[in-house]
């Protein structure tokens, strides 16, 4: 089956899906994005993702291309046309097409909107979750506005590649205080020996993950204690468990950091439980 993308108002075959070479997304990475999980053909926590998109657009002063409910219809339509049952939907909005100049283009320049969707392999993801993933640390080298979900991901690309080259699946950034901020495409968590879940506060240094926010609500409902504070790679290595959260991975156990095993080197029970329970607390639309 051929894949279909939404590009600026049209549903087109992937091979015909293109934007101008003068799109500011292409020229300057002047855009924002969202990724939602798709389960049973339905979007997970779309409203929260949509609200974060609006915030990212506002922070960058990019015009909202259409109301959120209209954008939601487009996402659902792309999922439907691609027959995605289990996978992801990707949405990108850029400042639009204009003659290359760093400063903003003329008012009235229409933002560009692209939506794609693809199937993922649930068995493969569950197998990864059963084994857990390896993490390496990487010096924080991103701009301070990592709270904006910008398509400017070059530091994240380099960190992820460094992880891959060391046989790991994710890189955890470590800031100048020696604290973990987050992963290159996920939020970072540990579980203390007395069973408290710890993740950095969303105030600084991280993207406020939607999966993180939903998990915080799940923890409250499950009466699991939460600490929102920084932690160091050393504390993480000495912790009972570690895991990451992201829409594409939900809760994914971490079994080693920089080659040093966490606990017994196997996925921890709390991470496993939270992975199983997560969708009870998520919203399907």
Closer to ligand PMP by Cβ: residue 6 or 172: 172
Residue whose structure tokens are 């974060």: 52
- Binds ligand PMP (CB under 6 A): choice among 134, 160, 212, 272: 212
Q: Is 245 in the site for ligand PMP (CB under 6 A)?
A: yes
Closer to ligand PMP by Cβ: residue 202 or 222: 202
Provide the minimum distance between the beta carbon of 166 and ligand PMP in the complex, in angstroms, as a whole number: 19
Q: How many residues bind ligand PMP (CB under 6 A)?
A: 13
149 an active-site residue? yes
Q: Is 31 in the site for ligand PMP (CB under 6 A)?
A: no
170 to 189, contacts with ligand PMP by CB under 6 A?
Answer: 182, 185-187
Burial of 60 (0-12, 13-18, 19+ CB in 10 A): middle
Provide the minimum distance between the beta carbon of 157 and ligand PMP in the complex, in angstroms, as a whole number: 11
CA angle 201, 199, 92 (to 5 degrees): 70
Given a contact cutoff of 8 angstroms between Cβ atoms, the answer to whether 91 and 75 are in contact is yes
Q: Which residue, among 92, 129, 73, has the nearest Cα to 248 in the 3D structure?
A: 129
Closer to ligand PMP by Cβ: residue 153 or 224: 153
Q: Is 275 in the site for ligand PMP (CB under 6 A)?
A: no
Within 13 Å and on the Cβ side, how many CA atoms surround 158? 9
CA dihedral of 237, 240, 246, 248, whole degrees rounded to 10: 100
Q: Is 209 in the site for ligand PMP (CB under 6 A)?
A: yes
CB neighbours (10 Å) of residue 284? Answer: 14
Q: Which of 124, 134, 149, 225 is flagged as catalytic? A: 149
Span from 19-27, 79-87, 204-212, 232-240 in contact with ligand PMP (CB under 6 A):
204-212
- Binds ligand PMP (CB under 6 A): choice among 57, 114, 239, 246: 246
Q: Which residue, among 247, 278, 251, has the nearest Cα to 267 in the 3D structure?
A: 251
Provide the minimum distance between the beta carbon of 179 and ligand PMP in the complex, in angstroms, as a whole number: 15
Closer to ligand PMP by Cβ: residue 216 or 224: 216
Q: Please, what is the angle between helix 46-60 and helix 68-81, to 10°?
A: 120
Non-local CB neighbours of 52 within 8 Å, separated by 6+ positions: 34, 149, 208, 210
Contacts with ligand PMP, residue ranges (CB under 6 A)? 35, 182, 185-187, 207, 209-212, 245-247
Catalytic residue numbers, as ranges: 149
């Amino acid at each position: 089956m051929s894949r279909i993308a939404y590009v600026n108002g049209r549903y087109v075959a992937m091979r015909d899906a293109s934007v101008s070479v003068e799109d500011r997304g292409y020229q300057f990475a002047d855009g924002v994005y969202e990724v939602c999980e798709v389960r049973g053909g339905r979007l997970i926590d779309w409203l929260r993702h949509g609200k974060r998109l609006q915030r990212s657009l506002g922070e960058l002063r990019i015009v909202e291309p259409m109301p959120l409910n209209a954008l939601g219809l487009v996402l659902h339509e792309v999922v439907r046309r691609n027959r995605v049952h289990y996978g992801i939907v990707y949405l990108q909005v850029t400042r639009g097409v204009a003659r290359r100049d760093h400063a903003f283009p003329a008012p009235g320049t229409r933002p560009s909107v692209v939506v794609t969707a693809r199937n993922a392999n649930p068995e493969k993801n569950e197998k990864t979750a059963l084994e857990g993933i390896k993490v390496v640390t990487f010096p924080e080298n991103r701009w301070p506005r990592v709270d904006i979900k910008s398509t400017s991901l070059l530091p994240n690309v380099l960190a992820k590649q460094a992880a891959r080259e060391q046989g790991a699946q994710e890189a955890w950034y470590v800031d100048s205080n020696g604290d973990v901020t987050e992963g290159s495409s996920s939020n970072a968590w540990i579980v203390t020996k007395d069973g408290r879940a710890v993740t950095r506060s969303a105030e600084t240094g991280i993207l406020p993950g939607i999966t993180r926010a939903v998990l915080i609500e799940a923890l409250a409902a499950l009466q699991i204690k939460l600490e929102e504070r920084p932690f160091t790679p050393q504390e993480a290595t000495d912790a009972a468990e570690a895991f990451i959260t992201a829409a594409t991975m939900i809760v994914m156990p971490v079994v080693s950091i920089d080659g040093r095993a966490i606990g017994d080197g196997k996925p921890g029970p709390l991470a496993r439980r939270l992975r199983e329970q997560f969708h009870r607390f998520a919203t399907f639309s």
